[in-house]
Chains A and B, each alone.
Chain A
Amino acid sequence: MEFNVLIGGEGGQGAFSVELELTETLTKINYHFFATKHYMSRIRGGHNFHMVRIADHPVHALNGGKWDMIAALDDETEALHKPDLREGGSFLSRAMTKEIGEESQKLFGDIRSANTVLVGCVLAVIGVTPERMAEAAEPGKAEYLKKGYAFAVRWNIAGAFPVSAAAGCPVKFDGNRALAFGALLGGCRFMAGYPMTPATSILHYFAEAAQDLPVHFEQAEDEIAAINMALGASYAGVRSMAATSGGGFALMQEGVSLAGMTETPIVVAVAQRPGPATGLPTRTEQGDLKFILHAGHGEFPRVLFAPGSIVETIELARKAFDLADRYQIPVFLLTDQYFADSVQVVEEEKIPLDLITREYPVFDATYKRYRLTEDGISPLTFPGLSDALVKLDSDEHDEEGKITEDPDLRKRMMDKRLRKFDLLKKEAVPPTFYGAMESAAVVLCWGSNRLIVKEAAERLNADGLSVCALHFGQVYPLTPAMIAPYRLEEKKRICVENNATGQFAGLLKRELGIVVDHNVLKYDGDCFTVEELYRRLKGLLT
């Protein structure tokens, strides 16, 4: 059983708050859900809508079918979305939500109580009892939720779409919180940032954590300062990160190159949004893969992760810090607005909690920061821990870290830095495979499409079509060993991406010689829904 509800309204009307409170309460009363939003780049007005899928089983994507319920806080919601209401679905018209507003104001003396009342009404529709609501209510809000239940009874929609609460011990995450949590587990203690949608809530998480944990967040004057501050902290011995979106990352590039040359560990999270330039600030796209792959002048090793589930995000964010530190390289975490802003439930026992710690080796006065070693990794230490002086230079440098223009030394230093890449390839994170190995077709994807593709492939298999899926959480480097088990060459290959040019398909060809037969692309700023992807894939498979 599942229930799909859309809440639409102007910016500032409370639809955001309704989603926040609804997901908060659903978590407390053990429901599986997936919630995402479509919002405009403005604070007031316009038209935003919030989509929540509530189910008796784990759900990690938008269904994309008809809505079981629509709540209209503005007239546009009715005009735009009512045609997508299923037959017999519950529709709260603008007049009805106004009624909620007026009665709430009268009863509770606070117009904001109407948000909670609406939450109570939605919960009533899926069969939550007033008693259960009261248990989960925030202090002082039980009466609001109960009032919402009363509205549902009045309008004869209480229990219209019953869904049972089946999540054992749910923890809710959005993509940005998962990333920040993984960073904490990975030992990240310093973040510098400049606000940019859709990455800003990563900054919030760190600013909040800094209130009571040994973590620091610094709001930088711009993205150039942000990455340089993070590099300074990293040099001083504190695992550090910067987080931004494509436009901010454009400014950070010189810092990425600096990390490459000085071999300073750094993790950069890029929550992508549609470009070029300011693009669609609050919508989604996977358009910056090639940009990040090539960002920063000069040649140096790097790793790009693009996780596609909450648990994978926590794990890869954690691993990013370990890799960055061990190899002294920049590591990138690519997400997108869709994943960053979607809230979903993970059962607590599945959440990784192990922390990664590091050593602080000490050396004597003969220490050389860039000692030429067989594997290319020079021992790393930090200022003030011993007699070792730590000297970093953005110019080409000798083993000690002093400027050099010696051609032979230049070549040896380049070779040293690039040697690390061979080791990195051996540590590549394998892709995740879904379905039967002997399938006739394979859907290839990366980043946030993982669980949309998984569910769409399941539906296709239920229709009797033979299709499997392969998701890449590590998108660079790509190695033959990563795909060897899946015999891709024997299958029809379809690559699903949220961009206009099939960037990952291009990378698969360049790095692995894999040519895809079909690209399924979307670049209108919205994510795929399961239904939409299912239809588009079905068209290619039959």
Chain B
Amino acid sequence: MEPKIETAWCPGCGNFAIRDVLEKALRELPVPQNRIVLTSGIGQAAKMPHYLDVNYFNGLHGRSLPLAVGIKLARPDLTVIAYSGDGCMYGEGGNHFIQTIRRQLDITILVSENQVYGLTKGQSSPTTGLAVKNDLSPGGNPNLPLNPLALAITMGTPFVARGFAGDKEHLKALILEAILFKGTAVVDILQPCVSFKKINTYAWYRERVFKLERPLTDCYEAIRTADLWGEKIPIGVIYRNDGAPCREVKEIFRVPLTKEDAASRLNMRCVMMR
């Protein structure tokens, strides 16, 4: 069902389903709505926060993660979720994706994964398959697709999952689990693009997706599972490592600093210039 509020998405867009799921998931979270912050970048998916009743910082293309990092470091009391599409998260923001995982913060990264640039009308994204044709790659995409799940696992992400916009109940459970997980969580959400992606349709996915029965805890098995694509596409928690450390963030918000604290910084040794 499409929401009553006006959105900038195409009729039938997979993002509607994700929006419904997110709205329910955020309501079910044991966190007051005003303590949830969404960050997003640019693209069709990045408009998501506008259609939810939460705090948000809809920033620039590729930069949802540095914003999320800044917010989490400043305010560990807030539940921080970064939401954007595959182009934003893995293309323009690809390095931020890698570097944010390294920071071991309690941030949830949700990615609307449609293997195409929607807002700019159908160009290749970092996850577009090899040889797929479009206006900017009339001879077929010459680039290997990035595997975000395998990348996330090898970078040490303690929670890595794949959801499908066509299975809302399953997706909602995944998103809730990801947000409640203490540590960096990545959920790549298969989302059909009805305007520019004629192959990966709802029907195409329905024929292929299968649910993992339980989270994989062996990272090598998880990488092998993340590598499955084509005939069989796994959805569910691909990797979960409850033993992974999560960085403790110091309280700085509204913690007073005194004149004496400031004065204590005088006459410190100069460092060699750099």
Contacts and interface: CB of A to CB of B under 8 A. Distances in A.
Are A and B interaction partners?
A: yes
Interface of A: 16-17, 20, 23-24, 27, 37, 39, 171-172, 174, 177, 181, 184-185, 187, 189-190, 192, 195, 197-198, 200-201, 204-205, 208-210, 213-216, 218, 220-222, 224-226, 228-238, 240, 254-255, 258, 262, 282, 340-341, 343, 348, 351, 353-355, 360, 382-395, 401-403
Contact of A233 (B60, B74, B273): B74
The listed residue with most A CB atoms (<10 A of its CB), out of B8, B269, B270, is: B270
- B interface, size bucket: 35 or more
24 contacts: A37-B273, A184-B262, A197-B274, A209-B265, A210-B250, A213-B261, A214-B250, A215-B257, A225-B69, A225-B96, A228-B60, A228-B63, A228-B66, A230-B70, A232-B70, A237-B75, A238-B75, A240-B70, A240-B74, A255-B60, A258-B59, A340-B273, A393-B58, A394-B42
Contact of B250 (A216, A229, A240): A216
Query: Which of A187, A195, A228, A341 has its CB near the most chain B CB atoms (within 10 A)?
Result: A228
B272 interface: yes
A375 to B, nearest CB: 24
A459 B264 CA distance: 38
A235 B64 CA distance: 13
Contacts of B69: 218, 225, 229, 232
B68 interface: yes
Given A221-B96, A392-B56, A27 B257 contact: no
A20 B99 contact: no
B264 to A, nearest CB: 8
A341 B267 contact: no
B63 A190 contact: no
Contacts of B54: 389
A92 B57 CA distance: 61
A50 B273 CA distance: 12
A447 B66 CA distance: 32
Contacts of B265: 181, 184, 205, 209, 213
B242 interface: no
Interface stretch (B33-41, B194-202, B222-230): B33-41
A222 B99 CA distance: 10
B266 A181 contact: yes
Contacts of B249: 216
Contacts of B71: 232-233, 235-236, 383
A353 B266 CA distance: 10
A236 B78 contact: yes
A355 B260 CA distance: 10
Interface in B80-123: 95-96, 98-99
B252 A216 contact: yes
Given A221-B95, A388-B34, A27 B274 contact: no
Contacts of A262: 57, 59
Contacts of B272: 16-17, 20
B189 interface: no
A190 B74 CA distance: 7
A383 B98 CA distance: 27
Q: By CB atoms of chain A within 10 A, which of B33, B59, B95 has the most?
A: B59
Given A214-B250, A216-B252, A353-B263, A231 B59 contact: yes
B273 A198 contact: yes
Given A385-B34, A390-B55, 7 more contacts: A218-B69, A221-B99, A282-B273, A353-B259, A383-B35, A394-B60, A403-B50
A535 to B, nearest CB: 28
Contacts of A181: 262, 265-266
B50 A402 contact: yes
B267 A171 contact: yes
Nearest to A176: B273
